[in-house]
Amino acid sequence: MIQKRKLGNLEVSALGLGCMGMSYGYGPAPDKQEMISLIRSAVERGITFFDTAEVYGPFKNEELVGEALAPVRDRVVIATKFGFKLSPSGEQIGVDSRPEHIREVVESSLKRLKTDTIDLLYQHRVDTDVPIEDVAGTVKGLIQEGKVKHFGLSEAGVQTIRRAHAVQPVTALQSEYSLWYRNPEAEVLPALEEMGIGFVPFSPLGRGFLTGKIDENTTFDSSDFRNKVPRFTPEARKANQALIDLLSTIAARKNATPAQIALAWLLAQKPWIVPIPGTRKLSRLEENMGAVAVELTADDLREIDSAASQITVQGARYPEDMERRTGL
């Protein structure tokens, strides 16, 4: 079985499973029954931490996760998110963390997830129109009512985290972090360590790029959002191949895959980091889980750091119009 880690005082498996791609974001959604079976296979293999959000689909992903985990609800931790304003057709049209909106979303999420409590509730993106104290206070109320157990933030800056944490302790911050996006290292990670808050990196495999399975000639389905991402233009992919070469070199030496090295590197940064790679395939789930057993020594980590510092990653991580509001 996979070892455990702690986000604040919430114990979860050392790797979680990001479920978004099972119904949203990366081309046509696969068969729902196959995805239910994949989620249950993850539970059988010891994964206890599952990540979803109302906007994935929208709504479809929470329904999928709820149905898949209903028979094993007492063995798992479900994380979901609020904070977007949706049009009647389900398009994201901005952020909305007004207290009454948070409560509406939570009631709907509880139904879709077939549960009476959400283990970890994140604010999906900071809403600058609503003081973070009001957001934290609303979640505090939901925790007192038993509808939520733990409070999280996503892509929030240090000041916002501190202000929220003073009202309702923050259990985890979820933000993008990987060998090709290392911004949290400068200010966020030291602040989380000081406050005892866990960290959940999303896109720990660089939206698939760090697996080494994508090159400049790869084409994506027309509905795959990577088509719009500057970091995924053919030119950027060609330039960023240097990172894959680095991972492949270490992987060959460790009898592992580039994806396993990328995840093992994250796990080695701090004992309170729990990455949530997503996948639609059992073989990839097992490959990702294998990362927990990969031992990177201090020398390995120094070598990766030193080589990675010579590589300038090309391309922004989001198109400009998506940078603040995206739920991906």
Residues classed as catalytic: 56
Q: Please tell me the distance from the alpha carbon of residue 262 to that of residue 266, in angstroms, as a whole number.
A: 7
**Rounded CA separation 154/274 (Å):** 14
Return d(Cα 59, Cα 73) in angstroms, integer: 19
**Cα gap 141→157, rounded to integer Å:** 23
Q: Write b or e for each residue in 219-252: b if 16 or more Cβ atoms lie within 10 A of its Cβ, otherwise e.
A: ebeeebbbeebebbbeebbebbbebbebbeebbe
Residues 6+ away with beta carbon under 8 Å from 239: 314, 315
Tokens of 101: 């909106």
Cα 264 to Cα 140: distance, rounded to the nearest angstrom: 34
**How many other β-carbons are positioned within 10 Å of the β-carbon of residue 87?**
10
Strand-pair partners of 26: 224
* Integer Cα distance of 68 and 233 in angstroms: 35
Which token pair is 20?
Answer: 């978004």
Distances (CA, A) of 281 to 211, 217, 264, 324: 14, 22, 20, 30
